Amino acid sequence: MLKVKDAASLTKRQRWAALAMLAGSLLIVMMDMTILIMALPEMVAELSPTSSQQLWIVDVYSLVLAGLLIPMSALADRWGRKRTLLTGFAIFGVVSLLVLVATSPGAVIALRAVLGAAGAMIMPTTLSMIRSIFQDPAERARALAVWSVVLSVGGIIGPLVGGSLLEFFSWHSAFLINVPFVAVAVGFGIFLLPEARNPDPPRWDLPATVLSMAGMVGLVWGIKEIAKKGWVDPTAWGVTAAAVLIMTVFVRRCLNRPDPLLDVRLFRSKPFTAGTVAGLTASIAMAGVLLLIAQWLQNIAGFKPIVAGLAMMPMALGSLVMGPLAPRLAVRFGTRNALAGGLALTGVGLLWVFAAGELHSYWQLIGPLTLVGGGVGSLAIASAIIMGSTPQEKAGNAAAIEEAMYDFGNVLGIAVLGSIASALYRIHLDIQDFASRGITGQLATQADESVVGAQNAARETGLVDLADTAAQAFGSALSQTSLIGGIVMVGTALLVRALVPKGFDIAGHNSK
């Protein structure tokens, strides 16, 4: 058996090779959150799932991942981060291969659930291992820049990769693409990655584990349901309220124990809090932009899904450019100024969408998308603040918190910004104006729910101006939602700048 090296013995080349492997790990997990969007129609045609099963096929991955983030991070601190990561990868690969024998919706749902569990073993572990491998603060900041770029780009390219695969292969390819990546990652990971764990791990807290899982799953499910069924759904609100209560009990339990499952005392650090707030709000902005602009591209501009995926690439390019530059900007202009500036850049991109007025062409979106992506790329600084201000033995805790913020940000972006846009769409459409022309009852409800519904109603009735009015209403809703998002991002930038001390450098040390 080969002797596993420790982080201190790794050469520079080995460290960056290890980072490449970790970044590939994260890319696969992030892609799997969105890649199935493109494969779902073909899967529905073959397996005939009910509408409820379709939702579970899409959502169960993120639900299980969210529920297991904290327990899996604690497990990695005890059992070993390398061992946890490679085990998660092995499970990911085997389960992805098993899709070949999945012949029912229930089987696909089960596979997606296990993939979510494996993803929870992978995601936070990649971040905590970067903290262990890169001991030099400046080098660690560059490594975290790569990690943050992969985090933001992975979700964007998921639909594009899925759409490209479906041009040539069946829906199974959305799963099978994971297998070669996993084989390479495990093979290289065995040799490249050093083992790391908390030398003095806390006792396993089973009640806290159950509380964290129930609370996280309940929060994510409740928010998703509110977004899907509207803000008046009592079941969704009940589950969300119960989840908040459960997470409150979890936090109190962690605060009252000397060896908590998750050290929530990390939030006593203002820089740490600033980094998590930055990650949360930037994720909200990115998820909201992806949702609304993707809908505009497909439903208004008439782009095919794969073309719409390509059209979102300016956001990915913005992240690819800004991510590697972010640590240098932090050194040049100060950590708090660089991070606040990145968040403000996202805000400016959203405000640009509003300032552009009525959307007539995709070319109007290229500049705003690039700025939003560039702002999200600045999350490299937020990660450097979070991990740099956290002791190495608490790296798993910090990684779990940061990953949870990104996960919640994605859910909240779709739920909150999506719901705001839907409400504004209904106001601008004013479906009552079409009542005298036969748009009543089910047709009116259908048109009021979405621009696609309005287009279908227009085709059924021959009312071309209904489709035109719906398109204008959606464009206005997109514009005004962008205004709200832009204001929130600029406000968050000011808050983050106030929280991070002036002398706080990229390594997470206060020089004052």
Tell me: the pLDDT tens digits for 109-140?
A: 899 899 989 988 888 888 788 878 887 877 88
Q: At 373, which CATH number?
A: 1.20.1250.20
What's the chain's average pLDDT? 82
Is 360 exposed, middle or buried, given 0-12, 13-18 or 19+ CB atoms closer than 10 A? exposed
Per the structure, the count of domains in the chain is 3
Rounded CA-CA distance 263/127 in Å is 17
- Give the per-residue pLDDT at 48: 84
Please check whether residues 300 and 446 belong to one and the same domain. Answer: yes
User: Looking at the structure, do residues 256 and 322 belong to the same domain, yes or no?
Assistant: no
What is the pLDDT at residue 5?
56
Q: Print the domain residue range for 214.
A: 203-260
Q: In terms of domains, do 367 and 499 share one?
A: yes
Q: Are 266 and 123 in contact (CB under 8 A)?
A: no
pLDDT at position 37 is: 66
Same domain, 189 and 315: no
Quote the crossing angle between the two packed helices 51-79 and 206-229, to the nearest 10°: 150
Boundary residue ending a domain (243, 260, 277): 260
289 plus 413 within the same structural domain: yes
Tell me the pLDDT band of 165, cut-offs 50, 70 and 90: confident
Share of the chain above pLDDT 90, in %: 12
Predicted pLDDT at 244: 92
pLDDT confidence band for 310 (50 / 70 / 90): confident
Measure CA 466 to chain center.
35
Do residues 391 and 475 share a domain? yes
Angle (CA) 371-278-7 rounded to 5° is: 105
Per DSSP, the three-state class of 443 is: helix
Instruction: Give the pLDDT of residue 328.
Output: 84
Backbone phi, psi, residue 488, to 5°: -65, -40
- If asked whether residues 81 and 208 sit together in one domain, one would say no
Interval 42-96: pLDDT, tens: 787 788 887 678 778 877 887 888 888 888 888 888 888 888 989 998 999 999 9
Strand ranges in 298-386 using DSSP code E only, listed in sequence order: none
pTM, two decimal places: 0.80
* pLDDT tens for each residue of 325-367: 888 888 888 888 999 999 999 999 999 999 988 888 888 899 9
- Asked if 484 and 466 sit in the same domain, the reply is yes
- pLDDT single digits (tens) 107-116: 988 998 999 8
Q: pLDDT tens digits for 375-430?
A: 888 878 888 888 777 777 777 778 888 888 887 787 778 778 888 888 888 888 88
The predicted pLDDT at position 248 comes to 93
Same domain membership, residue 444 and residue 477: yes
501 and 375 belong to one structural domain: yes
Q: 207 and 194 share a domain?
A: no
Question: What is the rounded average pLDDT of the residues 190-209?
Answer: 78
**How confident is residue 38, by pLDDT bands cut at 50, 70 and 90?**
low
Residue 268: pLDDT band (50, 70, 90) is confident
Phi then psi for residue 510, to 5 deg, are -90, 115
Same structural domain for residues 360 and 466? yes
Residues with Cβ within 8 Å of residue 154, at least 6 apart in sequence = 26, 27, 28, 29, 30, 31, 33
